[in-house]
Amino acid sequence: MSATTPARVNHRAVLAIAVPIVISNISTPLLGIADTAVMGRMGDPKYIGAVAIGALIFTMVYWTFGFLRMGTTGLTAQALGAMDGEEIRAALGRALLIAGAVGLALIALQWPIRLAAFALIDGGEEVERLARSYFDIRIWSAPFALANYALVGWFIGLGRANVALVLQVFLNLVNIFFNIALALGLGWGVAGIAAGTLIAEVAAAIAGLVIAARHLRFYPGQWTRARLMDARRLAKTIAINRDIMIRTIVLMFSFAWFTAKSAEAGTVTLAVNSILLQFVTVSAFFLDGFALAAEALVGKAFGAGQREDFDRSAWLSTGWAAGIACVLSLGIFVFGGFVIDFLSIDPEVRATARNHLFWAALLPVLSVWCYQLDGIFIGATRGAEMRNAALASSALFLVLWWLFLPYGNHGLWAALTGFNLMRAASLGFYYPRLRRELA
């Protein structure tokens, strides 16, 4: 079957996208573990702290521009469904242009970004000095790091999640190799970790472009400046990316508020919530794969104008996600206490975390709906609805946090749970209208 031949939406199609993404998500934390192990051999905890702070800054900055992955997935999937080879090319081209422009802007604005970042983070004089050296090196990889977002989104939009997995694993392996070689082998320390990451991000971007060029042979069409810079399509791309960016910033604010209020409640509460959020993060690794399957398959159905395929894509991907969410929730209920004991030896932290464990166990089955609806609306390139849902959900989160203040940390977790339920309810409000567009 050629790359442009439409395929029936079935369980295999869902798993072909979801499974590689899940594997990719699971492999990503290995990089952080490797960096920590390398810095741990330097003999001073300041090196670990410096890399952690530097990496956190770039995680927050790049997450802000996550629209390059999400928006590109939806637009590419729709072009694939419409059998429009030129638009498949243009979707990638526009995303890479935006990635390059934003990346160069980040380099040009590195001084104020660095100033603002370290004004918000207090890691001690020596740790901050090392973290600044990490920042000064890694910032030069910004265009390539953002290009990787665009490339991964493009491959997922084509239903080639296996290629996205290969690129992620390649990036991680190159990163680990050069981190060890430069940080330990040449004795560069924190600067070696930053340089190794820069090299890996550049190498992954180049590899992604080469693989993309090979894949484009399967899609009829040519590169044309007129299509690439088409005012209407370019405006749509910018509008979608703008709305997704606003949505991402709003979600980041909500989780930052949760962390800030955890810290205000004291060291024990902060430790407890940090441990419980690990369950939430690991659950998201698994559920994210099915949300991405929804993005690609729903986008393709939208591009083809096929409501039956839209319905099957939404229901099959959500059915798998819901089943996995139930397994995850059950696993947290049963084994969560053992994990808590492994992550902390403090008796008070252990006891308090066990008392709040049910919140972490409930979240997978209560949050899977907002994850899936996010994927569906990204595939349909409905950024405005996602933006509105995020704004409404964050507003409710703040209201619930204030109302539940008397209940302490249980109230904070109740507000977070309400936040995710509101994300699902608000997008669910738009869902019938979205479906009617394919009538």
pLDDT 10s digits, 277-306: 888 888 988 999 999 999 999 999 988 888
Instruction: Estimate to the nearest angstrom the gap between the alpha carbon of 389 and the chain centroid.
Output: 18
Q: What is the pLDDT of residue 122?
A: 63
Could you tell me the pLDDT band of residue 58, with boundaries at 50, 70 and 90? confident
Q: Indicate the pLDDT class of residue 5, thresholds 50, 70 and 90.
A: very low
- Calpha distance 295→293 (Å, rounded): 5
* Strand extents, DSSP E, 71-113: none
| Better-scored residue on pLDDT, 197 or 6 | 197
What's the pLDDT at 431? Answer: 94
The predicted-structure confidence for 180-196, as pLDDT tens digits, reads as follows 899 888 888 888 888 99
173/61 Cα distance (integer angstroms): 23
Name the least confident of 37-51, 57-71, 135-149, 198-212.
37-51
Position 402 confidence tier, pLDDT thresholds 50, 70, 90: very high
Please check the confidence at residue 41 and state whether its pLDDT lies above 80: no
Predicted confidence at residue 121, as pLDDT, reads 65
Cα dihedral across residues 185, 186, 190, 193: positive or negative = negative
Q: Which residue has the higher pLDDT, 42 or 241?
A: 241
What does the alpha-carbon distance between residue 210 and residue 228 come to, in Å, rounded to a whole number?
Answer: 20
Q: Binning pLDDT at 50, 70 and 90, where does residue 32 land?
A: low
> How big is the CA angle at 154 (ends 25 and 379), to the nearest 5 degrees?
85
Residue 365 exposed, middle or buried by CB count within 10 Å (0-12, 13-18, 19+): middle
What pLDDT is stored for residue 123 in this prediction? 58
Task: State how far the alpha carbon of 76 is from the alpha carbons of 28, 79, 92, 231, 288, in Å.
Answer: 25, 5, 8, 18, 19
pLDDT, position 35? 67
CA 411 to CA 403: how far, in whole Å?
Answer: 8
What's the mean pLDDT in 389-415?
95
pLDDT at 213 over 80: yes
Q: How confident is the model at residue 124 (pLDDT cuts 50, 70, 90)?
A: low
Region 226-230: mean pLDDT is 78
Residue 236 pLDDT: 83
Per the prediction, the chain carries an average pLDDT of 87
- Mean pLDDT of all residues in 216-243: 82
Instruction: Read off the pLDDT of each residue in 60-64 and give the average, rounded to a whole number.
Output: 81
Read off the pLDDT band of 239 (50, 70, 90).
confident
pLDDT of res. 312:
93
Q: How far apart are alpha carbons 52 and 37 in whole angstroms?
A: 12
Q: How much is the average pLDDT of 300-328?
A: 93
Question: Could you tell me the pTM of the whole model?
Answer: 0.85
Question: How do residues 92-113 score in pLDDT, each as one tens digit?
Answer: 999 999 999 999 999 999 999 8
State residue 3's pLDDT score: 44
Is the model's pLDDT at 42 over the cut of 70?
no
Confidence of residue 6 (pLDDT cuts 50, 70, 90): very low
Percent of the chain past pLDDT 90, that is, above it, reads: 44
Comparison of pLDDT for 315 and 64, the residue scoring more = 315
Crossing angle for the helix pair 11-27 and 29-40, to the nearest 10 degrees: 10
